[in-house]
Structure 1
Amino acid sequence: MSDTTHDADAPRLAETFEEVEDALLSRWPETKLEPSLDRIQAFTELLGDPQRAYPVIHLTGTNGKTSTSRMIDTLLRALDLRTGRFTSPHVERMTERISVDGEPLSDEAFVRAFNDVAPYTHLVDADQPHPLSFFETVVGMAYAAFADAPVDVAVVEVGMGGAWDATNVADAAVAVVLPIAVDHAQYLGETPAAIAVEKSGIIKPGSIAVLAQQTPEVAEVLLARATEVGATVAREGLEFGVVSRTPAVGGQVVSLQGLRARYDDVFLPLYGAHQAQNAAVALAAVEAFAGDAALDEDVVRQAFAEVTSPGRLEIVRRSPTIVLDAAHNPAGAEALGAALEDSFTFSPLIGVIGVMADKDADGLLAALEPHLAHLICSQNSTDRAMPADRLAEAAREIFGEDRVTVAPRLSDAIDQAAALAEAGEAFGDPLGSGAVLVTGSVVTVGEARSLLVREGRR
């Protein structure tokens, strides 16, 4: 019967989320890179270039991309625009990477998005020197799902870098560059300026470049790129920025100078100066996108009050307090340390840390050392994780023998840390206002979140 015949080479369509996850994870991992846009361009061409069906706000930078993307998304939806948002990596589930209307795709929608592009993946695989990677396939899924929705605007975070990141087949109406520091040095370069060259690739002719505060050498690279392609520039500290911020219960109250107006008494339910700066960048990006008029102040306040960013200084449990933060490089750890001092009075604070083997563990540990009474070295379940024993060796050099414990299983590490935090008086604090900080990697935080946050409870 003709309806049962099919192309033997065509991929079998998935029926469940687990099948999609399995199919995607069988591709080149995110950590394996071959710097070229050839595959993704071939792929999106076969899909009908869905990334051209809507304007794009594109974000790059070393830290802060996901929080800022979530703020931009929330602001745009407050303006009654239908949004698509692509972020990575995910904290707990792969579906988080593709959101429409502020919500991750349901498992059913994720399966549909995969099945929509699956027939084309093998055509690209067969035609290119290397097959499509996991990341390239998910980018294609996201762009197609956004066109299908259809969305009014897509907020897209780069996976790594900029110029040859798979997301860069889109031409941004607004290109956002968050602070640039050294991370992924083996792929992007050894200095912030070298990395900036790569990241500046998202600034396209005719776009508006919204630039967070940068070091002078990075700013020079970004401004040169903007001049070269004729992009308009808005810079934090000059055209927009944080006027003031006051830590408050559950977050902070900020005054933001936008591109079009000043917005006062804005409550942001996230902690730390870095999140206030992310908010200023998000506001400027949305103003740049929305046109010449100022935004309604009440709409701005309402939107920021609703912002969430899982795994970013997120309190997931009380007694003792357990805080999750996805800091995974020294710059992220510095921002985390400053926010801990600024917004909390935990004593003692017990750290649980699990890092990836390719990260600057020494830099991360050194940035956290002043803030932690004791450190428990652990590891997440991926094969990229640095073994807990190896991490502990590095930690003892920085913290000293007595302040470091090893617990390779993350659940054991959290239990031990909670017991230490509760026994606060042993550290000279009779009030026992102890807390646990789980950090070091998005994956570590995601696994901790799955352990600590019951299904359906945010």
Structure 2
Amino acid sequence: MDTHINLEATAGDTRGLSLAPMRELLSALGDPQADYPAIHITGTNGKGSVAALVAALASRWGMTVGTYTSPHVERINERMAVGGDPISDPELAELLSHLRLVVDHIAAHPGSGIHTGSGLNTGFGPPSWFELVTAAALRWFADAAVNLAVVEVGKLGRYDATNVVNSRVAVITNIGRDHTDGRPGWEAEVMGEKAGIIHPGVTAVLGPMAPELVEIASGESPGDLLVAGEHFELEENRPAVGGRLITVRTPRARYEDVYVSLFGAHQGDNAAVALTAFEALAGCVLDEPLLDGLGEVTVPARFEVVARRPLVVIDGAHNPDGVAATAATLRDQFSVSGAIIWVIGIMRDKDLDAMLAALEPAGARRNRVICCAPRWPRALPARDLAAAVRNRGLDAEIADDVTGAVDTALASATAKDAVVVTGSMYTAGEARFHMAAHDR
């Protein structure tokens, strides 16, 4: 796998991408994605949470559900699961070994027609790391005879390797500033790429967004277009012990006082989108026992409370909107009488100043910031992060790595304090693994 380009690690230029190589690879695997319907999910934030919520509803419905999400928090196995269980090491090894044989055969016989049926050499290079993992997941889902695949886009949508699935419902959670330079018109450009997962005739479900962005989605010719605030609405969204209580009006029903076991007001929006998407797939009103599944959802590194006294939260927020949601959740759903100790590691291609500004409503100006860098090629050096923190008038400490930052925070925290690890999913993953390994 390490011999194949990993665009997650390099954030390489996406111009000139094509789905043709992915389609050829899947053709060589027997087109497994055609064996089951899919709900396909994109958006700047909330994709993973919506995927988990939809999967919970589908499982309660009695479906065998395959979920594909990215990136992983600790282990690659997390990216693909059936019935909530990640793929085992032996199964993953067998899939990747088979994929290697297929890729080697295609490379050795480019004119064989095995992948296009045309007998022509199309001249595509080796598949990327993400294409291989996606192909492995889609093949595994077919082998497991899933009734539904819930598939999260890796990046944008139109040319993402996942955009080959047999989608019945396409979801766009929201449009925020990430992976963009922020020049005028960026919202429309981002929406144009994400709307590419809306295939003609499918049902499209859109979270809260501006009318001009809805118009872009409409241009993709969906069979039905369901828009937050128009066709469905989150009428109530209240804090509850361990999560939220929401009331959602959908095209078919009004679901009152539904418990969602995820923290943060933004998870109310995600749950409304998930309810509407699954209702559209099911084609009927969802009964109360089915909705109880939303109260059993856990999503690693999405405002995940891993300890109390002191409160320790691991959150993979990686852009300004995500960090703002983290800060708001901490403020609105928890009472921290002591200090907030932030452990932050960020990728160098992010809007650093906006992310740091998003922390301030939760009290960062009164508290500590420990800067670190996860072991990832795109990570911003801790010293550069610390300089930006100090430029905002905040005190900053520098740790050698994520584990050192976590240890420093925990060693100095009192029972009244909160330790919040955030800034990147890679930072969150390293912190989570370290705490679990040391039983903390």
Amino-acid identity (%): 42
> For the structure 1 residues 230 and 90, does the alpha-carbon distance in structure 2 shift closer, same or farther, using more than 3 Å as the test?
closer
Q: Does the alignment pair 1:195 with 2:195?
A: no
Q: Secondary structure at the match of 1:168?
A: coil
Flag structure 1 segments of 5+ consecutive residues without an equivalent. 1-23, 423-431
Query: Which segment drifts farther, 69-78 or 243-252?
Result: 243-252
**1:261 alignment partner AA:** A
- CA offset at residue 298 of structure 1? 2.2
Q: Does the alignment pair 1:45 with 2:22?
A: no
TM-score, normalising length from structure 2? Answer: 0.91
- What are the residue-to-residue correspondences of 1:29-428 with 2, within 5 Å? 29-30=6-7, 31-32=11-12, 33=14, 35-125=17-107, 127=110, 128-185=123-180, 191-225=186-220, 229-291=221-283, 293-300=284-291, 302-346=292-336, 347-371=338-362, 372=364, 373-400=367-394, 403-422=395-414
**Residue-by-residue CA offset, 1:157-185 (whole Å, 9 max, x unaligned):** 11101110011112411000010112112
Looking at structure 2, the residues matched to 336 and 241 of structure 1 have their Cα atoms a distance apart, in angstroms, of 23
- CA offset at residue 280 of structure 1? 0.6
> For the structure 1 residues 387 and 106, does the alpha-carbon distance in structure 2 shift closer, same or farther, using more than 3 Å as the test?
same
- Checking the alignment, whether the CA contact within 8 Å between 1:253 and 1:265 is kept in structure 2 is yes
Looking at structure 1, the residues matched to 435 and 270 of structure 2 have their Cα atoms a distance apart, in angstroms, of 27
Looking at structure 2, the residues matched to 125 and 434 of structure 1 have their Cα atoms a distance apart, in angstroms, of 57
**Residue-by-residue CA offset, 1:45-102 (whole Å, 9 max, x unaligned):** 1112111111110001001101110111111000000111110000010001111112
**Number of residues paired by the alignment?**
418
Looking at structure 2, the residues matched to 107 and 377 of structure 1 have their Cα atoms a distance apart, in angstroms, of 34
Q: Secondary structure at the match of 1:327?
A: coil
Flag structure 2 segments of 5+ consecutive residues without an equivalent. 111-122
Select the structure that is richer in helix. Answer: 1
- Checking the alignment, whether the CA contact within 8 Å between 1:327 and 1:439 is kept in structure 2 is yes
Q: Secondary structure at the match of 1:413?
A: helix
- Checking the alignment, whether the CA contact within 8 Å between 1:121 and 1:137 is kept in structure 2 is no
> For the structure 1 residues 201 and 116, does the alpha-carbon distance in structure 2 shift closer, same or farther, using more than 3 Å as the test?
same
- Checking the alignment, whether the CA contact within 8 Å between 1:252 and 1:269 is kept in structure 2 is yes
> For the structure 1 residues 125 and 312, does the alpha-carbon distance in structure 2 shift closer, same or farther, using more than 3 Å as the test?
farther
> For the structure 1 residues 290 and 193, does the alpha-carbon distance in structure 2 shift closer, same or farther, using more than 3 Å as the test?
same
Could you say which residue in structure 2 is the equivalent of 1:8?
A: none
Looking at structure 2, the residues matched to 252 and 453 of structure 1 have their Cα atoms a distance apart, in angstroms, of 27
TM-score, normalising length from structure 1? Answer: 0.87
Could you say which residue in structure 1 is the equivalent of 2:2?
A: 25
- Checking the alignment, whether the CA contact within 8 Å between 1:91 and 1:442 is kept in structure 2 is yes
Looking at structure 1, the residues matched to 79 and 344 of structure 2 have their Cα atoms a distance apart, in angstroms, of 24
Q: Which runs of 4+ in 1 moved over 6 A?
A: 186-190
Aligned-residue Cα RMSD (Å) equals 2.0
- Checking the alignment, whether the CA contact within 8 Å between 1:356 and 1:441 is kept in structure 2 is yes
Looking at structure 2, the residues matched to 42 and 57 of structure 1 have their Cα atoms a distance apart, in angstroms, of 22
Could you say which residue in structure 2 is the equivalent of 1:429?
A: none
- CA offset at residue 381 of structure 1? 1.4
> For the structure 1 residues 240 and 376, does the alpha-carbon distance in structure 2 shift closer, same or farther, using more than 3 Å as the test?
same
Could you say which residue in structure 1 is the equivalent of 2:424?
A: 441
> For the structure 1 residues 169 and 451, does the alpha-carbon distance in structure 2 shift closer, same or farther, using more than 3 Å as the test?
same
- CA offset at residue 366 of structure 1? 1.0
**Residue-by-residue CA offset, 1:371-414 (whole Å, 9 max, x unaligned):** 222211111112221100011111111243xx211113222211
